[in-house]
């Protein structure tokens, strides 16, 4: 298959490109400065410029581009987060909808931020959206794929949780303090973390590409979410380091502001109902096994 991927240089995108190539697929990177080779397609998304003919006949497009949500959420940062999701996704969706030979599927990044902080409530793809900043952005992000779905293209919105991999994402940022014995619970530690291994993220995206029954929102999380306390203790065991230095909630709010409240103290207990219903078999269903496997890479 010929699969075009935006965000191909990122944490998830680079792993996906490598895996697809190993399986014999043609993984074409959608980048801002394309080389003359056939494995890259150039675009200028913020200027809304692309040669549509370069997308013709692709089997699928996987759209992973977007401004990182890490960092203090100033007004400017929030604007970049919104724009990078809605504008880029809308432009790509409208472009593929106008193709003579559109892709069979548009697989678009999304996030479990869609649900907001919901305590111990068990959330599936059918659950209502939240009301905070991330929930509002994510809901609009998914709606930006409407032109493609109205054209009859199969759209999948990947509501991704905390991705565990040693080379990027949240886990990579945690490793250094934990290795020095400075790891500890965040707040009271009772907030739920819906996690997934990078191995399963890549395999589940490939499942979404190949399985035509996969459509609409898909929770990209493992079946067993854990509390922050459980996560902290598991990571401490894997690294063989103590986990006795907590970071109180008021300190998190002071240091990180709204971002800390949403990402570090928010509780989102999500289950992968649609992945399981469509026959996806997880490589890692238990947190400690996932941590050991990913950190052994």
Q: What is the pLDDT of residues 250-260, one digit of tens each?
A: 888 888 899 88
φ and ψ of 260, to 5 deg: -65, -40
Q: What is the pLDDT of residue 38?
A: 65
Band (pLDDT 50/70/90 cuts) for residue 34 is low
Q: What is the mean pLDDT of residues 33-39?
A: 66
Q: Rounded to two decimals, what is the model's pTM?
A: 0.94
Q: What is the pLDDT of residues 122-173, one digit of tens each?
A: 999 999 999 999 999 999 999 999 999 999 999 999 999 999 998 888 888 8
**Residue 71: pLDDT over 70:** yes
Q: Which residue has the tokens 């940022």?
A: 173
Percent of the chain with pLDDT over 90: 80
**Residue 2: pLDDT over 70:** yes
Residue 177, classified by CB atoms within 10 Å of its CB into exposed (0-12), middle (13-18) or buried (19+), is middle
More confident residue, 8 or 33: 8
**Residue 175: pLDDT over 90:** no
CA distance 149 to 215: 10
Structure token pair of residue 278 = 């469509």
**Residue 184: pLDDT over 80:** yes
Residue 182, classified by CB atoms within 10 Å of its CB into exposed (0-12), middle (13-18) or buried (19+), is middle
Q: What is the pLDDT of residue 181?
A: 83
Closest CA to 220 of 178, 166, 278: 278
Query: Are 25 and 3 in contact, with CB atoms under 8 Å apart?
Result: yes
Instruction: Give the start-to-end residue ranges of the domains of the chain.
Output: 2-295
CATH class for domain 2-295? alpha beta
**Residue 285: pLDDT over 70:** yes
Q: What is the pLDDT of residue 36?
A: 53
Q: What is the pLDDT of residues 222-248, one digit of tens each?
A: 999 999 999 999 999 999 998 888 888
Band (pLDDT 50/70/90 cuts) for residue 194 is very high
Closest CA to 221 of 289, 293, 284: 284
């Amino acid at each position: 298959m010929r699969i075009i991927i935006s965000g191909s240089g990122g944490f998830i995108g680079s792993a996906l490109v490598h895996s697809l190539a190993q399986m014999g697929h043609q993984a074409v990177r959608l980048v801002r400065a394309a080389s003359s080779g056939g494995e890259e397609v150039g675009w200028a998304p913020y200027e809304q410029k692309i040669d549509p003919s370069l997308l013709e006949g692709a089997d699928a497009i996987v759209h992973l581009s977007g401004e990182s949500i890490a960092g203090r959420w100033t007004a400017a940062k929030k604007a970049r987060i919104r724009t990078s999701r809605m504008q880029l996704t809308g432009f790509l969706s409208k472009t593929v909808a106008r193709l003579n030979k559109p892709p069979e599927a548009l697989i678009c990044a999304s996030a479990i931020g869609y649900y907001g902080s919901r305590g111990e409530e068990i959330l599936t793809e059918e659950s209502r959206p939240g009301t905070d900043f991330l929930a509002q952005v994510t809901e609009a992000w998914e709606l930006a794929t409407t032109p493609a779905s109205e054209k009859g293209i199969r759209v999948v919105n990947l509501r991704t949780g905390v991705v565990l991999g040693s080379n990027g994402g949240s886990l990579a940022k945690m490793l250094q303090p934990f290795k020095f014995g400075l790891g500890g619970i965040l707040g009271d530690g009772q907030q739920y973390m819906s996690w997934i291994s990078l191995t399963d993220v890549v395999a589940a995206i490939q499942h979404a590409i190949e399985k035509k029954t996969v459509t609409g929102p898909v929770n990209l999380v493992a079946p067993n979410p854990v509390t922050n306390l459980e996560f902290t203790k598991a990571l401490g065991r894997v690294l063989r380091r103590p986990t006795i230095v907590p970071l109180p909630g008021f300190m998190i709010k002071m240091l990180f502001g709204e971002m800390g409240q949403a990402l570090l103290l928010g509780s989102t207990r999500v289950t992968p109902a649609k992945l399981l219903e469509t026959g996806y078999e997880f490589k890692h269903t238990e947190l400690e096994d996932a941590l050991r496997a990913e950190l052994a890479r």
